[in-house]
A and B are shown apart, each in its own frame.
Chain A
Amino acid sequence: MMKNEHTLADPFNEKVEKDLLAHLTSNRRKGRIFVFVLIAIILVGLFAYYRQLRYGLIVTAMRDYTSWGVYIANFVFLVAISLVGSLFSSILKLSKATWSTPLTRISEIIAIAAIMCASIIIIVDMGRPDRFFNVLIHGRIQSPIIWDVIIITTYLTISLLLLYISLIPDLAICRDKVKNVAKWKRWVYKVFSINWHGTPEQYKILHKISFTLSVMVIPVAFAIHTVTSWLFSTTWRPGWDSTNLGPYFVSGALMAGAAVIIVAMYFIRIALNLKEYLNDKLFDHMGKLLVMLSLVYLYFNINEYLGPAFKMVGVEGEHIIELFFGKYAGMYWMVQIFGLILPIVVMIFKWGRRPLPMLVLSFMILLGAWFKRFLIVIPSLQHPYLPIQDVDESYRHYIPTWEEWAITCASFAAVLLIITFLIRLFPVIPIWELKEEKESNSKPNQK
């Protein structure tokens, strides 16, 4: 009954299956410790959130004036990260960059994890999470927040569909080959592989819908981050009141997304022993891609600051001075130099595109990306048109409290936990796509 006609007795296929399915049955101690640590961080975050629910947002450092804080910065960051799904399963795929095939599933998994946590973090930011359903009952579609709610749902759905349809053939392989796992996992493989036998008709449908979704995901992904940028650019705040904000956010997101993939690649290839598949050549490719995306982001970055810095109009000028020379200058220049310019310079050289330097640079880019979101959200709010007077000292500054950091860390831990769970459950590299590629490569022009 369970025969896989398509891949019968091919040494390459057998090796691929063996390598890529190996981690599904292994259960190493290091992995368990990792999960344990993640859960511990999440529990601390949950306790912090319990305190926030009990005492209100007063436990945060947010006050009138700085009315949005790290939650919103983190939300923007997580939405940015989630854009990576579209980059790999759509843009690179449609442009026939076959080297990226092993990364599609990782990117889709990261996208789903990030977007799920982004939607959780936005609820955490609400003063009255108990009234969340007012958004459905009284929702006004004129509000950019409602656009965001709609687009997040839409993007999460398409990400799940993308992940799932590319999983179907692999789930069938798991169903047929992976026996030594928990009963519920085998149940998952059986049910979700929906009677896949790799018949030409099934492949035909699969390719068709995979193409449809690849095209569809581009506007949806661009929309999600553009709408997020509109949360800011529909106001008059200095630094937000900009027509550049949409492409600026999207380009920044793609850069951060590529950096996340590099970090993920590095750890997955060690943890799951996949050096052969996530090889140095792939890092080199990713390095070039990251340089390209960073240059685009650099362009929008210059575009974002040059105009206001040249004109120095009112509060916009104050905001620029604050960023360039003031309270936030240290953070600003660290972000611009170590999170953007330095990585570009280093990765232009071939030696800079080896795995370890790439890991370090990607970390720097990610840190830079996170703090860049912080710099977009917080200093803008501290420069209103009317002076801040007659307020408690705490209203003038914003230094996040432990509760905010705990919840932020918990959101990262949750992202990692979701990623870890999905990687443990499914082959992290699409087996069937590798096989297909190999076939199509070997058939027409064999060297």
Chain B
Amino acid sequence: MNNLFKYILFGFMALIFATGDISAQGKKTTRLQVEYYKNHDKMEMLIATLIAKERRYVPLAGAMIRFYSVNDTSKALLEELVTNDEGKVVLKINDNSKIFYDPSGIMTFEVEYGGNSSYKSVQRQISVKRANLDVFFFQKDSIKSIEVNASEIGPDNLITPIQGLHVRFYIKGTFSLLDIGKEKTDQYGNARIDFPVYMPGDTAGVIKIVVKIEDDDDYGTIESRGEINWGIPVKVIKKERRGLGDTDAPLWMVYTLIILLSAVWFHYLYVIYMIIKIKLAR
């Protein structure tokens, strides 16, 4: 951040002393990507990623990003945030009273990077409708299934099911999400897939299910999660072992070594004792 200050200062000085050669054509192109994301805690956020064209596109850190809510007539500043090392900023937008809604409940945001002496300015608009995604688990006889319900939140919190929405189902792994299927919602906003058989869970057999609407034109990205103990419990061998590859030797090896070595070294001691006896003999 101190560097940012330096750059601004240098840029400022350059502007003063430059002979006018520095113009828009010397500035580097920037790109802004904005994503609406609602996580499983129903927390809504806007994620903006700023990249700039150096030799190739790289994240631009320490840049000021402005978030506005707009409608036909007005534009309200929501927040100013500075990008991190990955060129990203995250703005939480739940319960923000400054946000405008149009009659059908659509929110429109404008995200802007103002640019500076070396980077071009850039702005982006995004419109989303609020929606909910909920996970349920059903078991009938031996068939286990995961069901999702997707619904739109209209003005005055009016809930209506969404039909024809693509929902993806995942199992949460250590490094990534394992895709287990996708389905379209029916007229009731429901989508259902069968639970995969023989899926390992954690030690208690618990599996974390993640369902997502991904980058939808109307609803952005919405995620929901559920946990269910349908997995096969993983046996974690925690027992301290004594093997050839362990820190501690197998006991038979310890005993064998002790017996062999004591047998030999006992004789050495005996010989030394006898040598002393020779010395004392008359």
Contact = CB atoms under 8 A, between A and B. Distances in A.
Direct contact of A and B (CB under 8 A): yes
Interface of A: 140-142, 150, 154, 157-158, 161, 164-165, 168, 194-196, 199, 201-202, 205-206, 208-209, 212-213, 216, 219-220
Contacts of B275: 164-165, 168, 194, 209
A25 B278 CA distance: 28
A195 B278 CA distance: 8
B253 A141 contact: yes
Contact of A199 (B243, B250, B272, B282): B282
29 contacts: A140-B247, A142-B246, A142-B249, A142-B253, A150-B257, A154-B261, A154-B264, A154-B265, A157-B268, A158-B264, A161-B272, A164-B275, A165-B271, A168-B278, A194-B278, A194-B279, A195-B278, A195-B279, A196-B278, A199-B282, A201-B281, A202-B281, A205-B278, A209-B270, A209-B271, A209-B274, A212-B267, A212-B271, A219-B264
A220 B282 CA distance: 33
A150 B275 CA distance: 24
A199 B267 contact: no
Contacts of A208: 274
A135 B210 CA distance: 51
B270 A212 contact: yes
B239 to A, nearest CB: 18
Interface in B226-282: 243-247, 249-250, 253-254, 257, 261, 264-265, 267-268, 270-272, 274-275, 277-282
- Lowest 7 A-B CB distances belong to which pairs? A194-B279, A209-B274, A141-B249, A142-B244, A209-B271, A201-B281, A195-B279
Interface of B: 243-247, 249-250, 253-254, 257, 261, 264-265, 267-268, 270-272, 274-275, 277-282
B271 A161 contact: yes
B132 to A, nearest CB: 55
A398 B266 CA distance: 45
A218 B250 CA distance: 27
Judged by DSSP, the binding face of B is: helix
A199 B282 CA distance: 7
A89 B49 CA distance: 84
Contact of A161 (B249, B253, B268, B280): B268
A205 B279 contact: no
Contacts of A161: 268, 271-272
A164 B271 CA distance: 11
B225 to A, nearest CB: 44
B281 A205 contact: yes
Judged by DSSP, the binding face of A is: helix
Residue from B250, B271, B275, B282 having most chain A Cβ neighbours under 10 A: B271
Contacts of A194: 275, 278-279
A190 to B, nearest CB: 12
Nearest to B246: A142
A141 B257 contact: yes
Contacts of A195: 278-281
A154 B266 CA distance: 11
B267 A216 contact: yes
A219 B259 CA distance: 14
Contacts of A201: 281-282
B267 A213 contact: yes
Given A161-B272, A209-B271, 12 more contacts: A141-B253, A141-B257, A142-B243, A142-B250, A154-B264, A164-B275, A196-B278, A205-B274, A205-B277, A208-B274, A213-B271, A220-B264
Contacts of B268: 157-158, 161
Contacts of B246: 142
A306 to B, nearest CB: 31
Contacts of A140: 247, 249
B264 A216 contact: yes
A202 B281 CA distance: 6
Contacts of B244: 142
A400 B257 CA distance: 37
Contacts of A216: 264, 267
Residue from B249, B254, B272, B278 having most chain A Cβ neighbours under 10 A: B278
A209 B257 CA distance: 24
A50 B176 CA distance: 53
Nearest to A158: B268
Given A140-B247, A142-B249, A154-B264, A199 B281 contact: yes
Residue from B246, B264, B280 having most chain A Cβ neighbours under 10 A: B264
A150 B282 CA distance: 37
Nearest to A210: B271
Given A142-B244, A213-B271, A220-B264, A206 B249 contact: no
A79 B250 CA distance: 28
A206 B277 CA distance: 10
A216 B267 CA distance: 8
A203 to B, nearest CB: 9
A30 B183 CA distance: 99
A404 to B, nearest CB: 32
A336 to B, nearest CB: 36
Contacts of A199: 281-282
